[in-house]
Structure 1
Amino acid sequence: MAVGPENPTVIRLDPAIVKWHNMTVNRHKYFRWTKRTAWLTFAYVILVPSILGTAGYMTDGKWEMRGKRRGDMISEF
């Protein structure tokens, strides 16, 4: 049989994981608004939802997928 540590309930922590965890917990303390962070915030909060909303609004009701058979047209216009 293999010989293990004297106390098998002790877990050794990886220093890299501990450092990463501390970085993510304290991220708000070191955040700064730069051109890059402002652009990314604008893109994910305003630009992407508006593009998806516009595309959804323009295509709303144009296709009917329910009750179609092979060869039937899915476009309603």
Structure 2
Amino acid sequence: MAMDPAIVRLGNMNTNRYRYFRWTPRTAWISFVYIAVVPTIFGVMAYATDGKYDLRAKRKGDIISEF
């Protein structure tokens, strides 16, 4: 069975992706968002809700918020 040249080319591109990567303003911005902005948002959300919810030993009808 013959291999499809487009699939072979795609496979080679995926294994050698690091060779074709270039820093552009777009890739720098995306990297900054995933490295700094997203963890900051999750950290702020975690800090704001720290201790607010208690999920241990709750029964049906009990509320989960502590305050």
Q: TM-score range by the shorter chain?
A: 0.7 to 0.9
Query: Is the radius of gyration larger for structure 1 or structure 2?
Result: 1
CA RMSD between the two structures:
1.5
- Separation (CA, whole Å) in 2 of partners of 1:40 and 1:23: 21
For these two proteins, the number of residue pairs brought into alignment is 67
Residue 50 of structure 1: SS of its match in structure 2? helix
Runs of 4 or more consecutive aligned structure 1 residues displaced over 3 Å after TM superposition: none
Post-superposition offset of 1:71:
2.4
Unaligned runs of 5+ in 1: 1-10
Q: Which structure's residues are more often helix, by fraction?
A: 2
Paired position in structure 1 for 2:41: 51
Percentage identity across aligned positions?
A: 57
Q: If the length of structure 1 is used for normalisation, what is the TM-score?
A: 0.73
Q: If the length of structure 2 is used for normalisation, what is the TM-score?
A: 0.82
